[in-house]
Every structure is written in C-alpha cells, then in structure tokens.
Amino acid sequence: MKGKTLVISGGTRGIGQAIVYEFAKAGVNVAFTYNSNEELAIAQVKDLEKNYGIKAKAYPLNILEPETYKDLFLEIDKDFDRVDFFISNAIISGRPVVGGYTKFMKLKPRGINNIFTATVNAFVVGAQEAAKRMEKVGGGSIISLSSTGNLVYIENYAGHGTAKAAVETMVRYAAAELGAMGIRVNAVSGGPIETDALRAFTNYEEVRDITAKLSPLGRMGQPQDLAGACLFLCSDKASWITGHTMLIDGGTTFK
C-alpha cells in the first residue's frame, strides 16, 4: 500500500485519528480533514511525516456543507497525485444535533436533517469526488463508518441510528455501480467505541458499563479496533469484498 493516498474526513480525533495512523504505518500518504482545531491538525501532520516518512496534509471541512467536498478535492489534487482510498468518518455533535440526539417524542426535523446531512449526504458527495480520482488510477476502496445503533436500541440514538442505516444502504448502491471502475465500497460498523464523541453522551457511563458486560471480551471497543478493519478492507486481501457492512462490536449485538 506504500505510496498510495488515503482521504479521510475527521482525522484528528478518536476513530479518524486512529485510522490515519494505521494507514501511515503502512506507508500510505494521508489527506485528512478537521473541523476547527487547525493547530492540532498541523501538529499531527508534522508528527506523521516525521515518524512514518509519508506525505500528510490537513484541510478544513464543515461536514454540514457536503457540497464543499468538491473544492476540497481540488485542493487535494494540488498536493497529491492520486487518490486510492476514501473514508467517510466525520460526525457532528453539540448544537447541530439538538433535536436529533434525544428521545423519539422530542425529535425535531432540523436535528435529524443535520445528522442525515453529515452522515449520508457527506458520504455521497465525498465518495463521488473520490471515485472520479480512483477511476484514473484503476480503482480503489471507499468506506463509510457506521454504528450498531441501527441494529440495537441505544437511548437517544434514533436520529443517528436511522442515518447509519441509510448510509449502509447507500454503500450497497454505490458498490453495485462503482464495481465496474474497480472501486469497492463497504461500511465498517462499530459497537460503542471509547471516543470523545461517546463521552459526550448523557448516559456515557451506563453505555460503557453495559457494553463491557455484554461483550464476551469484557471491554469497550477502542478506535484501533475499527482502524484495523478499515486497513484490511482497503488492502488487496479484501479484493473480493464489496457492498458489505463489517461489524466490529466485540460480540455485543450477538448477545
């Protein structure tokens, strides 16, 4: 995978950051986005280039404005000569999810729409732009991060869970249509993963304890657990896997 290029949204924290470093260790150049913390992003670029000998670049992106992906990829074109992998990872939290992260009877269209935009629309536009570049180099791999919250009940998660179900369906449609270009499209669905986003949940400690109890492995998921799955799906070892959702849940949905 050396010398190939990954484009990933939301690469400075949690799962996204773990994916960035997992690919960097494999010799993959990385173009990642950040929301607001430019200082952190620049520091990460320097760390990646110094310790892994790859090319890295960070770009600002507001995931609630997915149409700006088109301009983003034009900037990436100036810095990288190819795009081989695209991972749609960035999520929203805080004020934009008000009315989306709540009980069913308190859901509001604006909150739900914001979650859908950041999850489904952002995946579509980002994947479209990535696919145009992948076709020029003979193919590639596209991944959307998902969540088992579309399979099992998680308190206050109706808006997110429904959007994740939608993006998994979009993944299957994309896989069916992009296969002729040599592009594989899959989703990686995580059970509750130890991240800042999860810690922002009002019932974080309850989710943490229940997850560890449900899992035969007796622990919460870590960002690195999903990062390894993403690296596998982008590698030649997964060359006949497309249109699928890989569950990384520590056995929690089975029980």
Which H or E run contains 69? helix 69-79
Cβ atoms of 83 and 76 closer than 8 Å? yes
From 4, 55, 57, 164, the catalytic residue: 164
Cβ atoms of 223 and 193 closer than 8 Å? yes
d(CA 20, CA 7): 9
Active site residue 157: yes
d(CA 113, CA 194): 26
d(CA 101, CA 96): 9
From 157, 173, 237, 255, the catalytic residue: 157
Residue 200: phi, psi to the nearest 5?
A: -75, -15
d(CA 189, CA 247): 5
Catalytic residues, by residue number, are 157, 164
